[in-house]
Structure formats: structure tokens, C-alpha cells
Amino acid sequence: MAPETDKLADPVFAERYRAMSARDARFDGQFITGVHSTGIYCRPSCPAVSPKPTNVTFYLTAAAAHEAGLRACKRCLPDAVPGSPEWNVRDDLAARAMRLIADGTVEREGVPGLAHRLGYTPRHLGRVLVAELGAGPLALARAHRAQTARLLLAGTELSITDVAFAAGFTSVRQFNETMADIYRTTPGDIRAAAKGRPAVRSHPGASRAASLTLRLPARAPFDGAAVLGFLAARAVTGVEVGGDGAYARALALPNGPAVVSLSLGGTDASPHVVCEATLSDVADLAPLVARIRRLLDLDADAQAIDEALASDPALAPSVAAAPGRRVPGAVDAEEILFRALIGQQVSVPAARTALARLTDALGEPVDLGGFTRLFPTARQIAEHGREVLRGPAKRIDAIVDTARALATGELVIDVGESREELEARLLALPGIGPWTAGYVAMRVLGSPDILLTSDLVIRQGAAKLGLPSEARGLAEYGARWAPWRSYAGMHLWRSSQA
């Protein structure tokens, strides 16, 4: 058998090669095309002449392509695309590690810290990542730093030195060597080649602080108005504000508070989100971008999800009316847990009132972009929550006890958890039931296959579509929507409001 025929006999390779040959943009970010005859790697939609199968290797990560000695294509910029949806769809060790790496864990805690978060030794973690993704944790983090640096070079006027340290490099020399190795050019040349870049304004007297505007690409189709509307409807006074296709908030990042404002841009075929951010420390840019992408679910494979859900005649009209529906995520895992605990069994307006009262009393005061508070921390709620919270004593006990468990480290919630582990830890706590555990897993982890059958609004939406509205019947019917039940739930939510 000829080498080309042999490669194409592999169904995974054949599928990816067809997508690459068709220059199908919906696969951008889902895999990378390594072309060994030219020594470069590209996004699947690169307009260059399609290489022969014998010269091609497909990779899941840019880091794996770097490890194979390839450099990034200057024509298609393969790192300027939506990320892979695999890290939400998958819930294994490799996917959990990728979520933490994107959040900057290696830069803050090193590989030992990453391994500890995941519950494995650094050696075992390295073996798994190399086997699954073609690169170890250091290489994956290095690729992520390089992508962040290119974003800063192309989109800001920060000095080269500031870009280096903001992206997580330990020295300018290391930064220059990495950029030359990956992009085969200098940081100055990357900046010079960027066109139409927005300016960054550095704050006087705070060399690490900055305000900047970025474009975050979304995978089409993208119902951005709906996800921003979801967030705006639940905005907590003093912390958030939203409306008319925009959403803004104050949030805590690893190196200090920040403010971010989000609005929609681009076209239906190539949507993006305009992200205007003011950071206390520009080193927080990478975790900010990762969290905003998760908040808006920008990397979801919307076309595949819509095709699967539209195959059910009951959901097809909703999918046609609102293609690219997203599942809102989180910028702070602990905040989502407290929102769920305070919001369960009450209306959205009542939850907003309670959360605003709690935030006004306990949240750290800030003066950033018109915002006055940060959402209170678990420690603040554990120490003073009883003075502010109202309602049944058992409900208050559950909230305060959960806050105490988070503050002491007895309970840990972050994007590095698996759904099974996270839900089990939550359900073990008094006052937390399946709805709360599922809702938190869906929003914190981006889990795509959770149907909240006990949710009243979802059941009302199901009834409007002629589907079973009783929890057990809806669960049985909803099994046909796997593995996209979270997205089906968003369509049911939409139907309840129609």
C-alpha cells in the first residue's frame, strides 16, 4: 500500500485531511496541520496549497507541533483562532490540565503546583500529557505564553520587556528565544506586521497596570446576544452591569482587581467579542482571556451541537431561530457556587437583591470603571455571612458552612476538577442537592451534558414544546440529546421565555 493511501486509511486522519483540503474554518483550533516538507504548522483553513498526505501530521496542540520542530505559519496565524472545544467535552486528566494551563497555573505555581492541583505526581502528569497531546506541561505552558505574547505585541503598545514578563516569561532572553523558535521572527517584527491594533494606555505610577482592547474570536455560529443577556439579567449591583448587547463587571484576578467590558463584533461567519479591560497587573491578561472565553463559551463547536439538537423535531425550531446557543460559564468558581446556593428556589430578581445586599455588606470596596465592589470571598462570607443573609436557618447554615469549607481548603472548586469529583464533593455538603451541584459543574467546568431536570424554568420550557415536564420523564426523553444536554437546556430556557 502506498504511504499516502496508508495514511488515508486511518479514518481520523482522513476526516481531518478532508477538512483541511476543504479549508473548513469550523475546524480551526480543533486540530493543527503540521507540514513537514515546509517546516510549518497551520490552521485547517489556511489558504496555502494543500500538502500531500505523506507530508502531513495532525496535532491537537501547538505545543506538540513545536516539539516536532515546526514553526507557526505567518500567513494564517494558527494561534489567532478560537480554542479547542475538546477541553470542555473531555473530562479526563489531559483536558483538566489544559484548562488549568490556560488559566496560568504553571506560571503561578509551576509544574509541581499543576500536578498537585490534579492529584498526580509531576512525572505521571508529564507522561500522560506527552502520550495524549504530544507535549509535556512545560511545553504546553510555553506555547500558551508565546500565544499571549503575540496577542500583546499585536494589540498593545506595551514595551517589549513588559510584554515578556506579562506573558509569563522569566527573562527577556527566554522570551526572544521562544518567539524566534516558534514564529521565526522577532517580537519587534511581529508588532510591526500588526495592522489596525488598538492602543494600550499604561496607568501613571503603576508600570504593571494597563487598559487594553482585544478581539476574542468565537466559533460560528454564535448567539452572543443571548449569553450576554443571560449574564445581564443576573447582574449584581455594584459588581456588574449589562444590557443592549453588552456586559461589564469588576472581578478579582491573581494579581489584583480588574474591570472588563464585553460587546459583540465581527460578522455572522466570523464573530468576535470586543473585550475592553483595565488590569491592576498586565500579567493577568492570560487568565483574564481564558476566563472570558469560558464565561461566554466561545470555543464550543456550535455547528456540531446545532446539527445534533436539530435532529429532534421538538428542538429544531428553537435551534433554527437561535443558532449558536451557548452555555454561560464563570470567571470565578466560588462566586458561581454562592450564586447557586442563594438563588436556588427563588426568582432571578429575588436572587439579585439578596446577592447585591451580601456584596454591598461584605465585598471588597473598589473604584474601577464605575464599579464599587468585588463579589465577596468565601472567607468574608464565612466570617460575616450570618450578619447579612436572610431566610431559613438551614439555608443560611448551608451557605456559611460551605463558605467555611472553601476558606479552610476542605472544599476546592476550580476548572481542574472532573465533573464526577466536583459533584460528589458538593453533594457531600449539607444543603446542596443535585440541581446546585449540576448547575455549578455546568458553569464552572463547561460540562456540555448536564440537563437540570428539576429546574422549574427548564420544565416550563419543555412543556411549551410539548415535551415531558416531569423531572423523570424529561430526563428519559433528554437522553437523546447526549452529549449536548446542557445546550438543549439553554433552548428549553429560551422556550420558557417565548
The helix/strand count (H/E) of the chain reads as 24, 12
- Report the alpha-carbon distance of residue 477 to residue 218 in Å, rounded: 31
Burial track 29-46 (b if 16+ CB lie within 10 A, e otherwise): bbbbbbbeeeebbbbbbb
175 close to 107: Cβ distance less than 8 angstroms: no
More confident call, 498 vs 316? 316
Query: HSE on the CB side for 27, CA within 13 Å?
Result: 21
How does pLDDT run across 461-493, given as a tens digit for each residue?
A: 999 999 999 999 999 999 999 999 999 999 999
The cell numbers describing 17, all together, are 485531511
pLDDT in tens, 121-136: 999 999 999 999 999 9
Print the SS3 string covering 78-117: CCCCCCCCHHHHCCCHHHHHHHHHHCCHHHHHHHHHHHHH
Residue 250 cell numbers, joined: 469588576
Assess whether the previous peptide bond of 221 is cis (omega < 30° from 0): yes
Q: Give percent above pLDDT 90 in the chain.
A: 78
Domains of the chain: 3-72 (3.40.10.10), 86-193 (1.10.10.60), 206-299 (3.30.310.20), 332-433 (1.10.340.30)
Return d(Cα 67, Cα 79) in angstroms, integer: 16
Catalytic residues, which ones?
42, 455
Cβ neighbour number for residue 244 with a 10 Å cutoff: 10
Given a cut of 50, whether residue 427 has pLDDT beyond it is yes
Higher pLDDT, 385 or 282: 385
State in Å, rounded, how far the first CA of the chain is from the last one: 58
CB 211 within 8 A of CB 277: yes
Quick one: which of 227, 131, 149, 226 has its CA closest to 189? 149
Under 8 Å between Cβ of 360 and 238: yes
366 within 8 A of 375, measured Cβ to Cβ: no
378-388 and 333-343 helices, crossing angle to 10°:
20
Work out the average pLDDT over 73-77: 87
